[in-house]
Amino acid sequence: MPKVLAQKASPASSATLGPLRATSYVDQVVEAILSRAVLGQFLPGRRINELALARELNVSRAPIREALRMLVALDVVENTPYQGMRLTALPPERIRHISQVRLELEKLSLREIREVKRRNLLRTELQNVLEDMKSAARKEDRLALAKLDAVFHETIMRASANPVLLKLWQMLRPQLIIIFGLSQYGAQGSERKKPFQKIVQEHRDLIEGLASASFDKLTAALEAHILEENVSVDFSSR
């Protein structure tokens, strides 16, 4: 699976894509498609024009097609007969199902991080990510914040030292990033649903929860954070 959306984004990366560097074309196309989905430039259920994307990114159609095949395997893109490639629709029910599975995976990860020493190390790692999230929130860089949210939660998954658990979560990661990005906008795509500072505060609460002796309190904070994502907006019909 490609290492997508792992690096931090600058505010400029939210505005334009630009031509691609001659490194890993396929991974860069995957990155570009996911970034556009986060920003609402590719909407769920809408067709992805391979030729137009190839021209914009200044690559041949071969890496475009390979990237799309990889995203089909991750359920980010769907290939519909006679209709071509489309970003997978995200009706409220699908978002709810994804969120429920994600919640159980992250709860299981937290159960495996019981030792105080491991928790303290994890808190330090998460605090570093939180500082970057604060900066992205101040700049209102939604793309950077979506990526950092994924980095934050993947850090929790890695701390479990359970590679199977981590891999299952990573399969959901591209969809989680897209849902995070789109959930910040209202039904007409014009208003943020949740203030960026509130998102930062929720992650701060999770870090503080790791210091608590109460596992129930920690998982309750995690559940509120994940399931509070707005699922009342049907992104498949915009």
Same domain for 137 and 119, yes or no, is: yes
The overall average pLDDT reported for the chain is 84
Same domain for 83 and 98, yes or no, is: no
Q: 85 — phi, psi (to 5°)?
A: -80, 135
Q: Band of the pLDDT at 183, cuts 50, 70, 90? A: confident
Q: Band of the pLDDT at 184, cuts 50, 70, 90? A: confident
**Mean per-residue pLDDT, 135-140:** 93
Q: State the pLDDT at residue 24.
A: 83
Provide the percentage of residues in the chain whose pLDDT is more than 70: 82
Q: What domain count does the chain have?
A: 2
Q: Is 128 among the domain residues? A: yes
Residue 98 CA to chain centroid, in angstroms? 12
Q: State the pLDDT at residue 77.
A: 96
- Domain end call among 68, 87, 106: 87
Residue 83 has pLDDT above 60, yes or no: yes
Residue 34 CA to chain centroid, in angstroms? 9
Q: State the pLDDT at residue 188.
A: 42
Which is higher by pLDDT, 190 or 86?
Answer: 86
Domain hosting residue 164, numbered range: 92-237
Angle ∠(167,168,173) on CA atoms, nearest 5? 90
Same domain for 161 and 217, yes or no, is: yes
Same domain for 71 and 114, yes or no, is: no
